[in-house]
DNA sequence: CTGAAAGCGCTTACAG
DNA sequence: CTGAAAGCGCTTACAG
């Protein structure tokens, strides 16, 4: 069933049907009514591929999630993006990458021709040449927390170095004496972690202080949880965790060992991840990312690129906020 | 940039380029190499809308999530579906509905023409006429835990009545005397809950027993959590919760009140939801849905509909499993 | 193995 | 306000 069937049924030309579909002014109200009624009766759905092909905009933004469809942090970000897009009359479709470090060519083509612009989320195996391809096809693209810089692509992230600096400053000012550090990776393949660490160390050096003990949690709740004993034995009185997920694992472990937080050990996280299931536990102190501001800026920018051909500087870094909870 | 540019650059016809793109045997190996090299060099991405329009299959399945992009249960289901699809050579793109009870027309058209088949997840405001539209367009469609029956649409769910029955049976056989029931909704707008309750009550009646106390948690962790006191005061020795989310809220509450589980109060959930953040807590006893089996059956069926025009009976109900954890 | 041509379902100047 | 016609970028019989 296509626009021609509808036209025949309604007794008009397909041009007129198309005009009705695109809300053109060039249709007499009664004609419009008649066509609309026919469409409804026949249950016709316009083929958006054909619409897009014919040169029209689709009002759809494509999101490529390089992390996991199942990640609470990016799930929240996707929600925010969808809301922002909706406000401006754009729909959103998603896809997730293979996670095999082969880039996201396949995902780009799945969406290409269907969406007006791209947003890439996260940093798992996103290749510069993928982004370049999109730029060369003249499509607006924005990168969210992705470690790729490319002329013509907008990029949004948080200033991890400044955040790490803020974290150390806070713990130092609170007067903690033996500050421990939980890394998200042992092999330094975690870019955000490296940056957070760089900022943290800078503040420590400025204060002439050293890390009392290092721990490693692979960014996971359970790995961190199982370090509880070791952390207690190390004798630290404060612990900075490169991600909230790890901080939560530790809070759980400490609770079971009946260690008073922050009295015996203070815990400071990083991310301000929204884990709704934790809402009733102790409120984590953490370095927060202004996610609403970041997604708002990004979507607005992307649509400006799309509608007005506006250009954006490659990377915009947002400042982190200190979120004072009950754990440090 | 299009197939014609590539053809010109490579010194062949666009037919040949197209054949390379579709992996046709009808191309001399050297010609194929040359074309491939040109494509790579130019950074060409075929327009999938045009491919689809020209009658080719896209090997992409569209998923419409009616619940939330941010829901751990459906997130896990989406992961499973994506894996199954991938095994069979299909990619997956997602979109989420407005949640305004106006159906999912918009979402269907965002995907229509781009995907070869649809999967609808969940039951938030999905209208029969939406499904009917897809069926009328001759596209395969599968419904997962959606309360719509439609000739031509495949539908997969768990047998909630049987699951509720199983839940009551289990608690009765364990010898609990005062069994409480936590509903997911006060207004009975929660279809699954109603079915679970029907099965539960059947088993209770067969045993000549009654519910000792009723509680209401709107399927939420925190609502359930805040009922803890009330549950303790009610004097029940076992509690069935219509969803795991509520059961987890209660476990948290009980833990804080230092109520021993299941010694003082047994807790039995329903869903077998995968909340990874809870992995280190007590293992919940629950009525499980065989999600892997369900998604496997669904994807296989959908692709059979797609590739062989096979038909499926409208609804397939899967039996629940009793998952014996540590809480009942 | 290769290419010219028709057609997929739509939109949009252009002419009236 | 309406319609005939060209064109969007591809695929696939058909002919060679």
**Is B136 close to A50, i.e. CB distance below 8 A?**
no
B78: closest chain A residue by CA: A69
Mean pLDDT of all residues in B39-58: 84
**Is A137 close to B1, i.e. CB distance below 8 A?**
yes
Contact of A281 with B253, CB cutoff 8 Å? no
**What is the model's pLDDT at position A188?**
85
**What is the model's pLDDT at position B307?**
84
Q: How many CB pairs under 8 A join A and B?
A: 152
A46 CA from C13 C1′ (Å): 22
B52 CA from C8 C1′ (Å): 8
Task: Look at residues B194, B245, B228 and name the one whose alpha carbon lies nearest to residue B67.
Answer: B245
Task: Look at residues A134, A141, A168, A185 and name the one whose alpha carbon lies nearest to residue A302.
Answer: A141
Cα–Cα distance, A34 to B32 (Å, whole number): 52
A276, pLDDT greater than 60: no
pLDDT in tens, B33-42: 999 999 988 8
Task: Look at residues A262, A221, A216 and name the one whose alpha carbon lies nearest to residue A244.
Answer: A221
Out of A78, A93, A253, whose CB is closest to B111? A93
Protein residues closer than 7 Å by CB to strand D: A 12-16, 19, 25-29, 31, 50, 53-55; B 2-4, 14-15, 17-19, 21-22, 46-47, 50-51, 53-56
A67: closest chain B residue by CA: B79
pLDDT in tens, B189-221: 888 999 999 999 999 999 999 999 999 999 888
Mean pLDDT of chain B: 91
**What is the model's pLDDT at position B194?**
95
Q: Looking at the complex, report in whole angstroms how far the Cα of residue B225 sits from the nearest Cα belonging to chain A.
A: 8
Mean pLDDT of all residues in B4-18: 92
A223: closest chain B residue by CA: B280
Residues of chain A with C-beta less than 8 angstroms from the C-beta of B50: 49, 53, 113
Question: What is the strand order of the sheet A154-158 is part of?
Answer: A315-318, A154-158, A141-144, A117-121, A60-65, A91-96, B91-96, B60-65, B117-121, B141-144, B154-158, B315-318
A278, pLDDT greater than 60: no
* Dihedral-angle region of residue A77 (phi above 0 means left; psi in -120 to 50 means alpha; beta otherwise): alpha
| DSSP per position, A182-207 | EES-SSS--HHHHHHHHHHHHHHHHT
- The pair of structure tokens assigned to A265 is 């050990």
SS3 per residue for chain B: CCHHHHHHHHCCCHHHHHHHHCCCCCCCHHHHHHHHHHHHHHCCCCCHHHHHHCCCCCCEEEEEECCCCCCHHHHHHHHHHHHHHHHCCCEEEEEECCCCCCCCHHHHHHHCCCCCEEEEECCCCCCHHHHHHHHHCCCCEEEECCCCCCCCCEEEEECHHHHHHHHHHHHHHCCCCCEEEEECCCCCCCHHHHHHHHHHHHHHHHCCCCCCEEEECCCCHHHHHCCHHHHHHHCCCEEEECCHHHHHHHHHHHHHCCCCCCCCCEEEEEECCCCHHHCCCCCCEEEECCHHHHHHHHHHHHHHHHHHCCCCCCEEEECCEEECCCCC
Q: For helices B160-173 and B191-206, what crossing angle results, to 10°? A: 40
**What is the model's pLDDT at position A114?**
83
More confident call, A174 vs B22: A174
**What is the model's pLDDT at position B73?**
87
Indicate the pairing of strand A141-144 with strand B117-121: unpaired
B276, pLDDT greater than 70: no
Out of B46, B53, B279, whose CB is closest to A221? B279
More confident call, A137 vs A174: A174
Mean pLDDT of all residues in A179-198: 94
**What is the model's pLDDT at position B117?**
94
Q: Looking at the complex, report in whole angstroms how far the Cα of residue A97 sits from the nearest Cα belonging to chain B.
A: 10
| Preferred mutation among B91, B105, B226, B243 to probe A, highest tally of A CBs within 10 A | B91
A308, pLDDT greater than 70: yes
Nucleotide nearest to A56 (CA to C1'): C11
**Is A252 close to B281, i.e. CB distance below 8 A?**
yes
Which nucleotides of strand D lie within 7 A of protein CB?
1-5, 7-13
| Preferred mutation among A277, A279, A282, A291 to probe B, highest tally of B CBs within 10 A | A277
**Is A53 close to B50, i.e. CB distance below 8 A?**
yes
Which nucleotides of strand C lie within 7 A of protein CB?
1-5, 7-13
The sign of the CA dihedral B206, B211, B214, B218 is negative
The residues, any chain, with a CB within 8 Å of residue A141's CB and separated by 6 or more, are: A117, A118, A119, A120, A131, A134, A135, A152, A153, A154, A302
Q: Looking at the complex, report in whole angstroms how far the Cα of residue B97 sits from the nearest Cα belonging to chain A.
A: 10
Cα–Cα distance, B194 to B216 (Å, whole number): 13
**What is the model's pLDDT at position B57?**
78
B127 falls in which pLDDT band (50, 70, 90)? confident
The residues, any chain, with a CB within 8 Å of residue A18's CB and separated by 6 or more, are: A3
Question: What is the strand order of the sheet A213-216 is part of?
Answer: A213-216, A179-183, A238-241, A266-271, A285-288, A321-323
A57 CA from D15 C1′ (Å): 39
Question: Among A21-25, A188-192, A214-218, B130-134, which range has the highest average pLDDT?
Answer: A214-218
A68, pLDDT greater than 60: yes
Mean pLDDT of all residues in A234-250: 94
Contact of A274 with A248, CB cutoff 8 Å? no
Nucleotide nearest to B53 (CA to C1'): C8
**Is B280 close to A107, i.e. CB distance below 8 A?**
no
Nucleotide nearest to B45 (CA to C1'): D9
**What is the model's pLDDT at position B11?**
93
Q: What is the pTM of this model?
A: 0.87
B52 falls in which pLDDT band (50, 70, 90)? confident
Mean pLDDT of all residues in B142-146: 96
């Amino acid at each position: 069933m296509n626009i021609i069937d509808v036209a025949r049924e309604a007794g008009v030309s397909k041009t007129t049907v198309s005009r009705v579909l695109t809300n053109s002014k060039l249709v007499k109200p009664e004609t419009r009514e008649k066509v609309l009624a026919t469409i409804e009766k026949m249950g016709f759905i316009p083929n958006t591929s054909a619409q897009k092909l014919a040169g029209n905009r689709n009002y759809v933004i494509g999101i490529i999630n390089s992390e996991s469809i199942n990640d609470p942090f990016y799930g929240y970000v996707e929600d925010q993006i969808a809301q922002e897009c909706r406000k401006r009359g754009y729909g959103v479709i998603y896809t997730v990458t293979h996670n095999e470090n082969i880039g996201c060519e396949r995902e780009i083509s799945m969406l290409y021709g269907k969406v007006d612009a791209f947003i890439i989320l996260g940093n798992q195996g996103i290749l510069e040449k993928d982004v370049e391809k999109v730029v060369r096809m003249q499509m607006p693209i924005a990168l969210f927390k992705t470690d790729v810089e490319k002329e013509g692509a907008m990029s949004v992230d948080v200033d991890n170095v400044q955040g790490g600096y803020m974290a150390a400053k806070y713990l130092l000012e609170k007067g903690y004496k033996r500050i421990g550090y939980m890394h998200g990776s042992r092999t330094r393949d975690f870019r955000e972690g490296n940056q957070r660490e760089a900022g943290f160390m800078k503040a420590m050096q400025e204060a002439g202080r050293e890390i009392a003990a290092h721990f490693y949690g692979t960014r996971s709740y359970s790995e961190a949880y199982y370090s509880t004993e070791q952390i207690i034995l190390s004798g630290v009185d404060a612990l900075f965790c490169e991600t909230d997920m790890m901080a939560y694992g530790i809070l759980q472990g400490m609770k079971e060992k009946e260690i008073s937080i922050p009295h015996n050990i203070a815990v400071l996280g990083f991310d301000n991840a929204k884990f709704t299931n934790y809402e009733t536990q102790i409120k984590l102190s953490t370095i927060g990312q202004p996610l609403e501001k970041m997604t708002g800026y990004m979507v607005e920018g992307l649509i400006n690129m799309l509608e007005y051909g506006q250009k954006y500087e490659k990377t915009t870094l947002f400042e982190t906020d200190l979120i004072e909870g009950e754990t440090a």
